[in-house]
């Protein structure tokens, strides 16, 4: 639309969103300002390093979108160290409808085969990628061989993350379609009731927590081990354990646990963050919390959730007995797909989001080690403040190209912007809301919609994610480094949760987040633990003060400050 058109026109070109004075934006490309960019707060609430941005997922997203003929594409930018992304039409506007119909058919076929696709095609491919990384001798490789390995790593990263999106697109669609069918067949039930039929199956996140819970039971059975864990800060427990025979045995069990589950890190796929196997302090912190619950039977609680699910499924099938056969068949198909999707939603993060990304981190750390030994970086971890091109240039010129000042400046930039609240959106508002198709609705349930304003200043509203009511002390936890203040019975209030946070679900009485929807990680795991959850409030971490008494109603999405 021309700039000189009058206001009497039917359509008015949207105006650019002004950036705050403390967040000046220089666009990477001239056309960037015309797109609508949102801070990807659910996955990247804090600044990301240049290397993490270099291993961004948007290219893999677009490959998977093309595979399913979805008419959308995404792009990403690192703006003032924060991760922003934009979703926009990827095909001519007059072809969106035809693409949408073909995508719906392809996604529907994948929904029907979701479990089989994951177990027989996608997971075996991911395992092959992991085996490739594990079999490469990084420390003894020549520098040219290591550079070639980095090129292969980038290719395999893209392949693994394309699998990630190949599966998550039908995965979220399966859960969303089941919820919508359930509400159609049971109009008085509501979304929360639909998801109760998907609970209690367990997944790698729950498995990780349960294995740690079993370790806590062993610690409780040994006075020496229990005393060591209780009396030492998390960072010093492992060094203190060998002082007793029982501690030596327990140390071996922790190391065995980390060898299987230790590739998580405290921050979602931030390459600069060490995995638990490198820094097990978050594991010990959770262990400290678990041993304060000596009389609790977590395994029995999760078995009760499974039994409740089976009872609800049987009741639903009995109710459907008089429905037409096509309705019963569709219900059975979508129920099976949604149950598989609920498990895969956590399992794929174990293998791809953390399993693959941890291996990528180790490849880059080998460059960091060599660069630090050559004096061109201060420490190995500074490698994450470089770009891929800079790593290759530095390796080619080693040891003459010094990157110490560059890495230090970028570290300082991230620390500065860590103190700045990034705006939720930049660029230009889209001309209208996204189309309401089945896939769009599913993605909306992942990220959540803006909550309705509360009816009182003493309340926060969000998405009802896991039913139940809990009252307790609010603990505003902005990072896992603060997790130690969460005690049994407290209510976890945080921006977002990802799999590394799941051990806290066995401690908290309820969870409240700023981000996410009913299909978010927090919502799914809260339902697996049977604790109330309200997600996507937008402002819980700012509206609720640490130490306040609050009440969480996971069925209505209301959080009351008492």
The DSSP line for 338-352 is HHHHHHHHHHHIIII
Compute the distance between CA of residue 198 and CA of residue 175 in angstroms, rounded to an integer: 9
Contacts of 478 (CB under 8 A, 6+ apart): 494, 495, 541
Phi, psi of 499 (to 5 degrees): -50, -35
Range of the domain at 555: 447-561
Q: State whether residue 12 is helix, strand or coil.
A: coil
- List the pLDDT tens digit at each of the 562 positions of the chain: 333 333 333 444 577 899 999 999 999 998 999 999 999 998 999 999 999 999 999 999 999 999 999 999 999 999 999 999 999 999 998 999 999 999 999 999 999 999 999 999 999 999 999 999 999 999 999 999 999 999 999 999 999 999 999 999 999 999 999 999 999 999 887 788 899 999 998 889 889 999 999 999 999 999 999 999 999 999 999 999 999 999 999 999 999 999 999 999 887 789 999 999 999 999 999 999 999 999 989 889 999 999 999 999 999 999 998 889 999 999 999 999 999 999 999 999 999 999 999 999 999 999 999 999 999 999 999 999 999 999 999 999 999 999 999 999 999 999 999 999 999 999 998 877 766 788 889 998 998 877 777 777 789 999 999 999 999 999 999 888 888 899 999 999 999 988 888 889 999 999 999 999 999 999 999 999 999 999 999 899 999 999 999 999 999 999 999 9
Domain with residue 470: its CATH number is 3.50.30.10
Contact (CB, 8 A) for 16 and 427: yes
Query: Is 86 part of any domain?
Result: no
In a domain, 166, yes or no: no
CA gyration radius, the chain:
24
- Cβ–Cβ under 8 Å, residues 386 and 394: yes
pLDDT of residue 1: 34
Query: Which contiguous run of DSSP H or E holds residue 154?
Result: helix 143-185
Quick check: is 223 in a domain? no
Are the C-beta atoms of residues 194 and 245 closer than 8 Å to each other? no
DSSP string, 485-529: G--TT-EEEES---GGGGGGGGT-SEEEESS--TTSHHHHHHHHH
- With H, G, I as helix, E, B as strand and everything else as coil, classify residue 17: strand
Q: Strand 469-476 vs strand 549-553: parallel, antiparallel, or unpaired?
A: antiparallel
Nearest to 383 by CA among 352, 404, 354, 413: 404
pLDDT of residue 13: 55
| pTM as predicted | 0.91
Count: domains in the chain: 1
Q: Determine, yes or no, domain membership for 378.
A: no
Domain presence at residue 127:
no
Give the span between the Cα atoms of 341 and 348, in whole angstroms.
10
The two three-digit tokens of residue 7, written as one number: 């206001």
Q: In the block, which residue shows the tokens 């639909």?
A: 194
Residue 529 lies in a domain: yes
Exposed (0-12), middle (13-18) or buried (19+): which is 388, by Cβ within 10 Å?
middle
Specify the DSSP class assigned to residue 20. P
Question: Please, is 26 exposed, middle or buried when counting C-beta atoms within 10 Å of its C-beta (0-12, 13-18, 19+)?
Answer: exposed
SS3 content of the chain, % helix, strand, coil (to 5): 55, 10, 35
Question: Crossing angle for the helix pair 204-220 and 245-261, nearest 10 degrees?
Answer: 180
């Amino acid at each position: 639309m021309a700039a000189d058109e009058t206001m009497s026109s039917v359509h008015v070109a949207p105006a650019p969103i002004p950036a705050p004075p403390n967040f000046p934006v220089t666009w990477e490309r001239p056309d960037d300002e015309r797109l609508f960019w949102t801070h990807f707060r659910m996955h990247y609430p804090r600044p990301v390093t240049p290397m993490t941005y270099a291993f961004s997922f948007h290219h893999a997203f677009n490959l998977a979108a093309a595979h399913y003929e979805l008419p959308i594409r995404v792009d990403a930018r690192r703006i003032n160290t924060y991760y922003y992304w934009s979703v926009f039409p990827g095909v001519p506007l007059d072809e969106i409808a035809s693409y949408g119909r073909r995508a719906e058919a392809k996604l529907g076929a994948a929904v029907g085969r979701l479990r089989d696709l994951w177990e027989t095609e996608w997971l075996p491919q991911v395992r092959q990628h992991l085996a490739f990384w594990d079999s490469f001798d990084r420390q003894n490789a020549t520098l040219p061989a290591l550079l070639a390995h980095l090129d292969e790593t980038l290719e395999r990263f893209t392949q693994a993350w394309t699998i990630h999106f190949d599966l998550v697109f039908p995965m979220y669609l399966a859960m969303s379609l089941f919820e919508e069918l359930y509400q159609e067949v049971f109009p008085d039930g509501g979304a929360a009731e639909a998801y109760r039929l998907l609970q209690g199956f367990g997944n790698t996140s729950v498995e990780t927590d349960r294995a740690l819970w079993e370790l806590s039971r062993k610690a409780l059975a040994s006075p020496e081990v229990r005393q060591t864990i209780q009396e030492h800060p998390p960072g010093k427990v492992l060094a203190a354990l060998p002082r007793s025979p029982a501690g030596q045995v327990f140390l071996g069990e922790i190391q065995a646990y980390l060898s299987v589950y230790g590739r998580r890190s405290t921050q979602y796929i931030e390459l600069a963050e060490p995995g638990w196997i490198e820094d097990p302090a978050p594991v010990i912190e959770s262990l400290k919390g678990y041993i304060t619950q000596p009389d609790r039977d977590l395994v029995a609680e999760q078995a009760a959730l499974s039994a409740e699910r089976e009872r609800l499924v049987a009741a639903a099938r009995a109710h459907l007995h008089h429905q037409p056969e096509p309705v019963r068949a569709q219900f059975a198909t979508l129920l099976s797909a949604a149950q598989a999707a609920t498990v895969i939603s956590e399992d794929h993060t174990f293998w791809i989001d953390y399993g693959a990304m941890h291996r990528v981190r180790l490849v880059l750390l080998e460059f960091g080690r060599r660069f630090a030994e050559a004096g061109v970086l201060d420490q190995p971890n500074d490698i994450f403040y470089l770009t891929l091109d800079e790593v290759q240039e530095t390796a080619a010129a080693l040891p003459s190209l010094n990157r110490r000042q560059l890495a230090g400046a970028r570290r300082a930039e991230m620390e500065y912007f860590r103190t700045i609240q990034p705006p939720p959106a930049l660029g230009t508002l889209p001309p209208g809301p996204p189309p309401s198709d089945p896939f769009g609705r599913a993605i909306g349930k992942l990220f959540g919609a803006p909550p309705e304003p509360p009816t009182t200043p003493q309340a926060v509203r969000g998405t009802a994610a896991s039913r139940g009511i809990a009252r307790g002390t609010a603990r505003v936890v902005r990072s896992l480094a603060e997790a130690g203040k969460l005690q049994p019975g407290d209510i976890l209030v945080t921006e977002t949760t990802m799999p590394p946070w799941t051990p806290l679900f066995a401690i908290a009485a309820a969870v409240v987040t700023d981000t996410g929807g009913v299909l978010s990680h927090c919502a799914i795991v809260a339902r697996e633990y049977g604790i109330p959850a309200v997600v996507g409030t937008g402002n819980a971490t700012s509206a609720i003060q640490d130490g306040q008494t609050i009440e969480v109603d996971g069925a209505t999405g209301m959080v009351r400050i008492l």
